[in-house]
């Protein structure tokens, strides 16, 4: 498997709105490549006769009926937010696209 | 003209289910902020989405009504992007395997029959709402996050703004007939995003595609598309540089302005949603849904013309909403005068509803009672002029037309003896008109008839008055 390039690391960081220093980009590039090496082991398996799949469990059509269930109380909804104001989540400035 | 507009429409429709797409939170507009949230729609760790069967059914229902194929099997996909209107940093959508695809819709616009191909109608989840604060930060409300959302994408087959307008009217009416959405654009239940560019019919050259956002009404879509066609035509004629970009419609100024330039295609890193197994709608279920489709607006319009002998215009107005069409049919059935029923529903009934901002489903005058009023006119008991007075009285009192006419003494005067005196009076009081009439001016009689009608508060039978006057004046 080809190694992930510094440009790809920068691109993914940009998509994730992560502002990384040059040193961080280098370190993360190395770490990502180490992770990809584990996946590279899978490449060695012969999958010639195995159909392409997106799910390991052979299931289809798992539905729920259209029934209303209780939602969480607002204070619990906000409980884990780093910055909650009254009944809202508050987030830092969004860069308008 | 060498340059032809080439317009596609992407429409998002909030489905009118009871609960959200992947969790049991209530699907409701305008509830207190963040009161309709749970671990699933907040994307909390360890939660798992489960699709709402009704939402899947609604998309199949709509797809079938739009002449689409239903996928034998399809998957959900993750659309990854980082914006606080999504709690999970991805939206569950569909990508290369839509639930329904390859349909079309036909209608008449600019007096011409139009056929627009439907590329796909798929299922996804709606996002939350951001409220931007003056200090640059934003408040987020996740009530709408996870509401089932249907995306209907056309091929770029529209060539005029008017076609886009009529398509949206037709689609809105269809969605309401199918009872899959309220489809109110003002409440954001129906959102349309046109993509506009021009193609040179001689050289095949194309201008860059421009997507328009921030359209809050069908009229805004029409006006924005028209503006964009003109702007691009002006640009090609003057050799101005054009860009692939997203533009925002400015309602006040009636123009579009640049939101962002697209250097590359959006990078959403779609991949199959691992939390959701594929869908393979049972053919029997699809057949059941197909069999349960109601009579659709276009079919009903055609039937109104053939069955009731209504003009095209009446049929279009009456069938635009299912409840109006139902009301009309109930009146027509009870009075056996479809054209009169149509005139009342499109005229006085609609005027009352507009004035009081009511929907016809909450109109206080039942079809039976309105039919009774029409019958009284047709039987000659009252004139149509008197009927206009009886109508509001019936709405206000919940009485029948007969009761109102009886109580108010509004019965038409059909007795020549009763009219004798007032006819004499009319002749005495209008010597000029009498003179003119005798000199062959037929129109002068109108003034005399008018006098009698005023004196009898509109209750005299106009034909009888006419006849008596002619007799007296020796015509
Ligand atoms: Zn929920």
Residue A1 has pLDDT above 60, yes or no: no
If asked whether residues B16 and B158 sit together in one domain, one would say yes
- Asked whether residue B97 is domain-assigned, the answer is yes
Using CB atoms, pick whichever of B81, B138, B277 lies closest to residue A60: B277
CA distance B373 to chain A (A): 44
Phi-psi region of B474 (alpha: psi -120 to 50; beta: other; left: phi over 0): left
B37 neighbors B22 (Cβ within 8 angstroms): no
Which of the listed residues B285, B319, B335 is the one where a domain comes to its end? Answer: B285
Residue B417 has pLDDT above 90, yes or no: no
Which of the listed residues B285, B306, B340 is the one where a domain comes to its end? Answer: B285
Can you give the residue ranges of every domain in chain A?
6-43
In this prediction, residue B1 has a pLDDT band, given cuts at 50, 70 and 90, of low
Q: B37 to chain A: which residues are within 8 Å by CB? A: 71-72, 77
In this prediction, residue A2 has a pLDDT band, given cuts at 50, 70 and 90, of low
Find residue B79's DSSP bridge partners: B91
Q: Is B83 on the interface with A (CB under 8 A)?
A: yes
Which residues make Cβ contacts (< 8 Å) with residue B467, sequence separation at least 6? Answer: none
Considering only CA atoms, which of B424, B355, B443 is closest in space to residue B392? B355
Residue B303 has pLDDT above 90, yes or no: yes
B395 neighbors B373 (Cβ within 8 angstroms): no
In this prediction, residue B472 has a pLDDT band, given cuts at 50, 70 and 90, of confident
pLDDT in tens, B383-413: 888 899 899 999 999 899 989 988 887 888 8
**pLDDT of B231:** 97
If asked whether residues B15 and B124 sit together in one domain, one would say yes
In this prediction, residue B457 has a pLDDT band, given cuts at 50, 70 and 90, of confident
Mutate to test the interface with B, among A78, A88, A93 (most CBs of B within 10 A): A88
- Asked whether residue B267 is domain-assigned, the answer is yes
**pLDDT of B410:** 80
Two tokens, residue B124: 């996804």
Considering only CA atoms, which of B198, B193, B196, B169 is closest in space to residue B183? B169
For the segment B274-294, the average pLDDT, to the nearest whole number, is 96
If asked whether residues B398 and B316 sit together in one domain, one would say yes
In this prediction, residue B262 has a pLDDT band, given cuts at 50, 70 and 90, of low
Using CB atoms, pick whichever of A72, A88, A92 lies closest to residue B38: A72
CA distance A72 to chain B (A): 5
Q: How many domains in chain B? A: 3
- Asked whether residue B251 is domain-assigned, the answer is yes
- Asked whether residue B456 is domain-assigned, the answer is yes
Output the CA B178–ligand 1 centroid distance in Å. Answer: 26
If asked whether residues B158 and B194 sit together in one domain, one would say yes
Q: B25 to chain A: which residues are within 8 Å by CB? A: 68-69, 71
- Asked whether residue B172 is domain-assigned, the answer is yes
Output the CA B40–ligand 1 centroid distance in Å. Answer: 5
Contact criterion met (CB < 8 Å) for A97 and B260: yes
In this prediction, residue A53 has a pLDDT band, given cuts at 50, 70 and 90, of confident
Which of the listed residues B245, B265, B285 is the one where a domain comes to its end? Answer: B285
**pLDDT of B48:** 95
Residue A58 has pLDDT above 90, yes or no: no
If asked whether residues B162 and B257 sit together in one domain, one would say yes
Two tokens, residue B118: 């439907």
CA distance B40 to chain A (A): 10
- Asked whether residue B87 is domain-assigned, the answer is yes
Which residues make Cβ contacts (< 8 Å) with residue B58, sequence separation at least 6? Answer: B15, B16, B17, B148, B150, B178, B180, B181
Torsion over CA: B354, B357, B359, B365 (sign): negative
If asked whether residues B150 and B224 sit together in one domain, one would say yes
Find residue B249's DSSP bridge partners: B256
Closest-CA residue in chain B for A11?
B267
Which tops the pLDDT comparison, B260 or B41?
B41
- Asked whether residue B290 is domain-assigned, the answer is no
In B, residues 223-282, which contact A (CB 8 Å cutoff)? 259-260, 267, 269, 272, 274, 276-282
Considering only CA atoms, which of A45, A89, A22, A16 is closest in space to residue B85? A89
In this prediction, residue A3 has a pLDDT band, given cuts at 50, 70 and 90, of confident
**pLDDT of B460:** 86
Find residue B80's DSSP bridge partners: B90
Residue A96 has pLDDT above 70, yes or no: no
Which residues make Cβ contacts (< 8 Å) with residue B137, sequence separation at least 6? Answer: A90, A91, A92, A93
Parent domain of B459: 416-472
Residue B212 has pLDDT above 80, yes or no: yes
Q: Is B17 on the interface with A (CB under 8 A)?
A: yes
CATH number at residue B468: 1.10.10.410
**pLDDT of A93:** 83
Complex confidence, ipTM: 0.85
For the segment B202-212, the average pLDDT, to the nearest whole number, is 94
Residue B62 has pLDDT above 50, yes or no: yes
In this prediction, residue B76 has a pLDDT band, given cuts at 50, 70 and 90, of very high
If asked whether residues B276 and B377 sit together in one domain, one would say no
Q: Is A89 on the interface with B (CB under 8 A)?
A: yes
pLDDT in tens, A79-92: 988 898 889 999 98
**pLDDT of B442:** 85
Two tokens, residue B421: 């005196």
- The phi, psi pair for B275, rounded to 5°, reads -80, -10
| Alpha-carbon separation of residue A46 from A3, A35, A39, A42 (angstroms) | 22, 21, 14, 9
Residue A29 has pLDDT above 80, yes or no: yes
The distance of Cα B227 from the centroid of its chain, to the nearest Å, equals: 23
If asked whether residues B145 and B222 sit together in one domain, one would say yes
Q: Is A42 on the interface with B (CB under 8 A)?
A: no
Cα distance between residue B168 and residue B296, in whole Å: 15
Residue A97 has pLDDT above 50, yes or no: no
Contact criterion met (CB < 8 Å) for B80 and A55: no
Contact criterion met (CB < 8 Å) for B37 and A77: yes
In this prediction, residue B265 has a pLDDT band, given cuts at 50, 70 and 90, of low
Q: What is the rounded average pLDDT for all residues in chain B?
A: 93
In A, residues 11-30, which contact B (CB 8 Å cutoff)? 11, 15-17
Q: Is B130 on the interface with A (CB under 8 A)?
A: yes
If asked whether residues B226 and B249 sit together in one domain, one would say yes
pLDDT in tens, B345-370: 999 999 999 999 999 999 999 999 99
Q: What is the rounded average pLDDT for all residues in chain A?
A: 88
If asked whether residues B203 and B322 sit together in one domain, one would say no
The residue to which tokens 């409220």 are assigned: B131
DSSP secondary structure string for all residues of B270-305: -EE-TTSPPB---HHHHHHHHHTPPPPHHHHHHHHH
pLDDT in tens, A69-81: 999 999 999 998 8
Which pTM does this prediction carry?
Answer: 0.83
pLDDT in tens, B106-150: 999 999 999 999 999 999 999 999 999 999 899 999 999 999 999
Please say whether the structural domain A6-43 has been given the CATH code 1.10.20. Answer: yes
């Amino acid at each position: 498997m080809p190694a992930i390039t510094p440009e790809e690391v920068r691109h993914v960081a940009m998509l994730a709105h992560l502002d990384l220093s040059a040193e961080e980009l280098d370190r993360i590039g190395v770490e990502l490549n180490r992770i990809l090496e584990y996946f590279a082991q899978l490449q060695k398996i012969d999958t010639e006769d195995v159909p392409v799949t997106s799910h390991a469990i052979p299931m289809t059509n798992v539905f729920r009926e259209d029934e209303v269930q209780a939602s969480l109380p607002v204070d619990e909804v906000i409980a884990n937010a780093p910055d909650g104001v009254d009944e809202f989540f508050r987030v830092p400035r969004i860069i308008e696209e | 003209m060498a340059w032809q507009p080439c317009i596609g429409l992407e429409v998002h429709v909030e489905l009118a289910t009871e609960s959200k797409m992947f969790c049991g939170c209530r699907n409701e507009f305008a509830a207190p902020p963040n009161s309709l949230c749970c671990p699933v729609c907040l994307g909390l760790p360890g939660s798992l989405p489960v699709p709402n069967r009704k939402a899947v059914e609604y998309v199949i229902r709509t797809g079938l009504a739009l002449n689409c194929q239903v996928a034998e099997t399809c998957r959900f996909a993750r659309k990854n992007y980082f914006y606080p209107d999504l709690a999970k940093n991805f939206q569950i959508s569909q990508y290369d395997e839509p639930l329904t695809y390859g349909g079309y819709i036909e209608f008449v616009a600019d007096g011409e029959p139009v056929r627009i191909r439907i590329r796909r109608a798929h299922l996804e989840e709606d996002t939350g709402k951001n409220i931007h604060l003056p200090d640059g930060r934003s408040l987020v409300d996740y009530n709408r996050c996870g509401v089932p959302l249907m995306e209907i994408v056309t091929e770029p087959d529209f060539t005029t703004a008017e076609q886009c307008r009529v398509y949206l009217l037709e689609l809105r009416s269809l969605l309401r007939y199918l009872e899959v959405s309220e489809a109110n654009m003002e409440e954001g239940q129906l959102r349309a995003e046109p993509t506009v560019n021009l193609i040179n019919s001689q050289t095949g050259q194309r201008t860059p595609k421009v997507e328009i956002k921030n359209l809050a009404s069908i009229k805004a879509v029409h006006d924005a598309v028209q503006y964009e066609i003109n702007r691009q035509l002006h640009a090609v004629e003057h050799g101005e540089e054009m860009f692939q970009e997203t533009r925002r419609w400015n309602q006040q100024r009636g123009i579009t302005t640049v939101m962002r330039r697209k250097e590359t295609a959006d990078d959403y890193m779609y991949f199959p949603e691992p939390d959701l197994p594929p869908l393979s709608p049972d053919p029997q279920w699809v057949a059941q849904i197909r069999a349960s489709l109601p009579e659709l607006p276009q079919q009903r319009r055609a039937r109104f013309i053939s069955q009731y002998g209504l003009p095209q215009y009446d049929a279009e107005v009456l069938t635009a909403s299912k409840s109006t069409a139902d009301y009309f049919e109930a009146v027509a059935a009870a009075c056996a005068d479809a054209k009169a029923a149509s005139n009342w529903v499109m005229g006085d009934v609609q005027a009352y509803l507009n004035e009081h901002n009511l929907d016809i489903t909450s109109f206080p005058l039942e079809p039976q009672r309105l039919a009774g009023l029409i019958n009284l006119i047709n039987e000659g008991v009252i004139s149509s002029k008197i009927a206009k007075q009886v109508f509001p009285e019936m709405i206000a009192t919940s009485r029948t037309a007969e009761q109102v006419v009886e109580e108010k003494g509004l019965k038409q005067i059909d007795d020549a003896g009763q009219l004798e005196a007032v006819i004499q009076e009319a002749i005495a009081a209008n010597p000029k008109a009498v003179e003119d009439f005798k000199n062959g001016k037929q129109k002068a009689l109108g003034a005399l008839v008018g006098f009698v009608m005023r004196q009898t508060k509109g209750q005299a039978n106009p034909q009888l008055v006419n006849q008596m006057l002619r007799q007296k004046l020796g015509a």
